[in-house]
Amino acid sequence: MAALAVVQAVLFGLGPAVDLPVVLTPATAVPVLLVALEAGPRVTAAFGAATVVLALVSGSIDGTFLEAQHVVRVTTVVGASVVALLAAAGRCRLEALVLENVRLMRDLAAAEAAQRDVAQSLQRSLRPPALPQIPGVALASFYRAVGDGADVGGDFYDAFPLTDGWLLVIGDVTGKGAAAASVTGMARGAIEAAALETGSAVGAIV
């Protein structure tokens, strides 16, 4: 920023001394436009105002205040300062919008991860921790949820002892989410209670 201020002062100081051509007058507005690329609206506005004052003072000192070339120079600087201010304000708004979008995306990703963890934990609670050891029978299970695992499914399986053997159950509840999980839990509990009470596979299911 300080370097740009020095460049601006040199441009206004050397312009009349070397008789800067009118076609090169826009070069005097370059520093304030460069400030808008990095600084905020307030700093850009302050730099632009200082640039305009410097242009007016330089014209008063070298006696070119009313000359056409000086009027063009001041007009150019004023216009560039306004453009720089608008550009700085727009850039800051865009940067703030980008940062807000990044924050929202991070929050959304964190919320989805938390929802997925809860769903997976709930899904695990609806399945037996381990299948029983049944003489003469080898049991194995594999469960894989469809999708990204963020929804709790209604699928379940279990094995319950009976008076004359075992009851192996594989079931599915319509729907997904908390409602399906609730029905799944009730269904497993009801089947287990019926199996323990009746000791019969038919009585447990019917």
pLDDT (tens digit per residue) in 165-197: 888 888 887 777 777 778 888 888 888 888 878
- How far is residue 95's CA from residue 89's CA, in Å, rounded to a whole number? 10
At residue 53, the pLDDT reads: 77
Pick the closest to residue 33 from 94, 79, 81, 1 (CA basis): 81
Neighbours of 76 (CB within 10 A): 17
pLDDT (tens digit per residue) in 93-128: 999 999 999 999 999 989 888 877 877 777 777 788
At residue 106, the pLDDT reads: 94
Q: What are φ and ψ of residue 65, in 5° steps? A: -60, -40
At residue 107, the pLDDT reads: 93
Q: Are 167 and 194 in contact (CB under 8 A)?
A: no
The residue type at 169: V
More confident residue, 13 or 136: 136
Whether the pLDDT of residue 72 is over 80: the answer is no
8-38 residues labelled b (16+ CB within 10 A) or e (exposed): beebbeebbeeebeeeebeebbebbbbbbee
Q: Which two tokens stand for residue 116?
A: 């997925």
